[in-house]
Chains A and B, each alone.
Chain A
Amino acid sequence: MYSSPVHAVDKPGTNTFQLINDQSAGEFSPNSMIDSAHVAGTCMDSIKSLRASLRAFCKTKGDNVELVMWKSDIEAVYRNLWLSKEWQAKQTVTVGDKRYVDHCNCFGNRSSYKVFLSLSSLVAWIAGHIKQIPHLKAYVDNNASFGLAGDVLYY
Chain B
Amino acid sequence: MATTTILGNTVYFSLAGVNLSDQVTNITINQQFEELETTAMGATSRVFVKGLETAQINVDFLNSYVATEVNTTLQNAYGTAVAFIINPNGSTTSATNPKYTGSVLVNNLTPINGAVGDLQTQSLSLTCVTPITYSET
A and B interact: no
A residues contacting B by CB (< 8 A) are: none
